[in-house]
Chains A and B, each alone.
Chain A
């Protein structure tokens, strides 16, 4: 058992004890049973299970919308599922013992980050694939285009989880991690739709400031747009949102590592 495996085991046990994992499983199981056993499903007067006229293109679109909602809900739950993990790990009475082990602080934090991320991604991918297989077998069509979209949820969740993790590391509070993430998310969404504000404020120094903030800030909504587009088979629509968000995340993660390495516990 190496150091990473030890942290992975600890994370797995804690995630299991927090029981939010059972909500993921229950929702997925419910949907799997629904699609496996429901006798018919009417869409615009056509029974989805019997219709011979549904093109693979239409099928892909319906499935893309379905998985967009499913994975979106999943990621929303993950924010709550992961927010308390790091603060509990850094809690008084536990962190002293952890820091007494021969692991440098930056490695410790990074291993914890990766361990929690990998566990949640494994759960997300497993449940999404089970659901995809059930729907595909039931409908007799396999929309392979969904798979890159599901894989892209790795990236989408990485950005979201990183913010929850970083705020949790800095404040050692799960509640503040959730609150902080939603505030950043709200601010990022406002910046993405800043052009609406320009209609009211007109051309001014504020438009330049908001533009610069938009370029710097993470772009959760636009990154999510890639996800939908990939599942529909249209490929990436917005690389800019991905790499600017990636750069922002890398910078704040490096800053968090620095603060974590210097801080007294």
Chain B
């Protein structure tokens, strides 16, 4: 038992895949360190092949570490006790097609250490929550992808876990279902559960997560609260009446990087107070201001900037 308060702690984790004869090596993760605090929704982002699924699989005991250490709920991941209060919904899962939804909960709940009566008592409300109660006695092979995701989510919550790992939880789910899953995650957060979310849907991560980590080519390049990643620099669009060429030149000289097109000025400031100066400049030149629209840099934009930029790990 590791004496720390983090729900998940990863220290200098490296994972190298070797070919059968050891001739080829793939560095899936290199010196990754991160903490996930109890009660937070933590998002893991990265392009395909960044090492996201490798990290989740290591934390859940499916892959072995090459070097470094990792703890889940204070227990080393080498100890099966680390997985006692953990729920997991894997990506591209293949639930046993010969089982019904209820039988699947009985089997995986039993493997998680629950008694039959506990499973039966919890399964009803959980299946109700994910809107699968009508199909509890239908074989999984007849389920759609979205139904399997919902069942998988119920399975992940069955043992009342402290930490839930979700790998692409809204994959194959319709927009209403996505909203419902997001609501469930919000509810889990209220209950003090820790959620580790692995998703390529940046908008989803942006709307749900408290903090995110961005992985690229096996390296952690950024971790921090979502709002710090999103609002990198204040950006505005200012719609005006007719702007002459002389004023346009003056604006560009005063604010390098500003773009003026069709009487719309797009500009990124170093701090949000600098907009006053631009407004003063327009007023001094008798230019009517029609609208000032603050622009939010989405997580997707921030993510793209980071991936293109590469670089060392940065805590924001």
Contacts and interface: CB of A to CB of B under 8 A. Distances in A.
Interface of A: 1-3, 5-7, 9-10, 13-14, 16-17, 91-104, 262-265
Interface in B75-128: 80-84, 86, 88, 90, 92-99, 103, 106-116, 119
Contacts of B90: 93, 96-97, 100
28 contacts: A1-B114, A5-B116, A6-B109, A6-B111, A7-B111, A9-B107, A9-B110, A13-B96, A13-B107, A17-B98, A92-B94, A93-B90, A93-B93, A96-B60, A96-B90, A97-B88, A97-B90, A97-B155, A98-B111, A99-B62, A100-B88, A101-B108, A102-B82, A102-B86, A102-B112, A103-B80, A263-B64, A265-B57
A100 B94 contact: no
Contacts of B116: 1, 5
A6 B63 contact: no
B52 to A, nearest CB: 14
B61 interface: yes
Contact of A100 (B60, B95, B106): B60
Interface residues of B, number: 38
A265 B62 contact: yes
Given A6-B109, A17-B98, A104 B63 contact: no
B112 A95 contact: no
Interface of B: 17, 57, 60-64, 80-84, 86, 88, 90, 92-99, 103, 106-116, 119, 155, 165
B70 to A, nearest CB: 14
A95 B90 CA distance: 10
Nearest to A98: B111
A96 B57 contact: yes
A164 B80 CA distance: 28
Contacts of A2: 110, 113, 115
B80 A13 contact: no
B81 A102 contact: yes
Given A13-B96, A100-B83, 16 more contacts: A1-B110, A2-B110, A3-B111, A9-B107, A10-B107, A92-B92, A93-B93, A94-B96, A96-B62, A96-B88, A99-B60, A99-B61, A100-B86, A103-B80, A264-B62, A264-B63
B92 A93 contact: yes
Contact of B113 (A3, A7, A92, A96): A3
Contacts of A14: 96, 98
Contacts of B111: 3, 6-7, 98, 101, 103
A97 B98 contact: no
A111 to B, nearest CB: 9
Nearest to A10: B107
Contacts of A99: 60-62
A6 B108 contact: yes
A96 B98 CA distance: 18
Given A6-B111, A9-B107, A264 B94 contact: no
Nearest to A3: B111
Contacts of A13: 96, 98-99, 103, 107
Nearest to A108: B111
Contacts of B62: 95-96, 99-100, 264-265
B110 A16 contact: no
A246 to B, nearest CB: 29
B103 to A, nearest CB: 6
The 4 closest A-B CB pairs, nearest first, are A6-B110, A93-B94, A17-B98, A1-B116
A102 B113 contact: yes
A189 B141 CA distance: 42
A100 B92 CA distance: 15
Given A1-B106, A97-B93, A264 B17 contact: yes
Contacts of A100: 60-62, 83, 86, 88, 90, 165
Contact of A102 (B63, B84, B155): B84
B112 A101 contact: yes
Contacts of A97: 88, 90, 93, 95, 108, 155
Nearest to A18: B98
B80 A104 contact: yes
A116 B99 CA distance: 17
B69 to A, nearest CB: 18
